[in-house]
Amino acid sequence: MRRMTRTLSLAIATALVAAGFVTAPAAQAADGIVVWADPAHAPVIEKLLPEGYKGTPVSVVVKDPANVRADLAGVRNAEAPDILWGDLAWTGELAGAETIVPIPMTKKRRAQFRANVLSGSNVGADRFGVPVQVSNLALITNTKLVPQQPATFAALSDLALKLVKNKKKVKVPFALPQGEGTSPWTTYPLFSGVGGYLFGKASAGGLSTTDVGLASKKLKSNAGLIDGWNASGLIDSSLTADAAKTAFAKGRSAFWLAGPEQLADLLALSFPYRIGSVPPMATGLKPAPLLTVHGFMLTRFAAKHGVEDQATKLVSRFFSKAKSQQELAAASGWFPANTKAAATVATGGGRIRAIGNAGVNGVTMPNVPEAAALWGPYATAWTAATSGASATPAKKAFRIAQRAANAALTGGTVPTG
């Protein structure tokens, strides 16, 4: 809640102006800039801004990320934030509700970020967020089992299957988590590697929700690869995240997909390993992991509170700097979005840098509410195509998924799962 001083100060100021004792000043907040942030990053923001920002006090309100959007929808002006920390996949929804406003960034500042990371908060031609930290999956290879990294996914597959056949201890060819509800997060590197995508790009910028790529032409032409992975046993729709992690940690699998959230598990491994990108599986296509990008958004309330200029500069200038980004990203152990900060990342060191670098071709999580229509059909299709002897051919499974997603998008019945 904004401090009561805002209401009292405004009331006093109004009375003085009415009495003619003072001239009405430009709009000005009584208690400065208010930032809503999660428990991990709130103390970092306070540490970075002990004296406020350029003469403007900054106060931080701790918020559970799960409740932020609901709280924001019903917040009163006096209690509303000027700046919001959160998942930049929210930007489409919040911009559509006119809760957040575009954030200008100079060409020089934009150059400090990868273009694919910046694109995650684009809505049309405008950018509604400043990225701070990134999470994505990378390929982890047991170098005791595989000294030379396979240059192609076909080579990886052949080697993984031979290890299962010839090494008694190796039981899982590729520790790809799929069970407990398949989501694009774990399987997207393979899905994109055969030509699938979620949404295409709109000509005006941002995403085109009329261009769904669950059954793109390239995916359909390469769908036989998925069928081959299923038939050979390379991937298994029932393999859970815990089972995949355990298989790799115990040396029962040579390959695993993991992100910065698994840093502690990586540090605990007793054998040498390599962190890199998933190798290509189809000509002309680069496997792309999904990117989750967190950062700052500027709310419409900043203008109402009289701090729009200060809040804009705080987000676009101060929070985009390498030092700020390095400290904020360290709070969660993620890869800093600022490339200079990423080059000297401290927490996780070379491991986090290697994971982050594996996301150089990554695709940001779609920032449009319509994405909810794709998750269910995608999960059903991938599970159906990788369920062993009873599997549905991938081309058919994803063609059904495409129709289901399009029906949900055009018919107004968008799944919540």
> How would you classify the pairing of strands 363-364 and 290-299?
parallel
Distance CA 259, CA 253 (A): 17
| CATH placement of domain 138-288+368-411 | 3.40.190.10
Residue with tokens 């990320």: 65
Q: Is the pLDDT of residue 196 over 90?
A: yes
Return phi, psi of residue 139, to 5°. Answer: -85, 125
DSSP letters, 286-342, are ----EEEEEEEEEETHHHHTT-HHHHHHIIIIITTSHHHHHHHHHTTT-EESBHHHH
State residue 400's pLDDT score.
Answer: 97
What is the pairing mode between strands 126-127 and 122-123?
antiparallel
The whole-angstrom separation of Cα 72 and Cα 16 is: 33
Give the residue range(s) of CATH 3.40.190.10 domains in the chain: 32-134+292-350, 138-288+368-411
**Cα maximum dimension of the chain:** 91
413 — pLDDT class (breaks 50, 70, 90): low
For residue 342, pLDDT over 50 is answered with yes
- Cα 406 vs. chain centroid, distance in angstroms? 24
Those residues whose C-beta lies under 8 Å from the C-beta of residue 382, and which sit 6 or more positions away, are 178, 182, 187, 191, 237, 397
Q: For 107-156, how does the pLDDT look when each residue is reduced to its tens digit (9 = 90+)?
A: 999 999 999 999 999 999 999 999 999 999 999 999 999 999 999 999 99
pLDDT confidence of residue 346: 66
Give residue for tokens 């009873």: 390
Query: Residue 82's pLDDT is what?
Result: 98
Cα 211 from Cα 224, distance rounded (Å): 23
Across 80-103, average pLDDT: 97
| pLDDT tens column, 364-385 | 999 999 999 999 999 999 999 9
Amino acid at 280: P
The reply to whether the predicted model has a pTM over 0.85 is yes
Give the pLDDT confidence of 230-276 residue by residue, as tens digits: 999 999 989 999 999 999 999 999 999 999 999 999 999 999 999 99
How confident is the model at residue 17, as a pLDDT? 32
Question: How would CATH label the architecture of 32-134+292-350?
Answer: 3-Layer(aba) Sandwich (3.40)
Residue 162 has pLDDT above 60, yes or no: yes
Q: Say how far apart CA 163 and CA 157 lie, in whole Å.
A: 10
Is pLDDT at 93 greater than 90 in this prediction?
yes
Strand partners, 142: 273
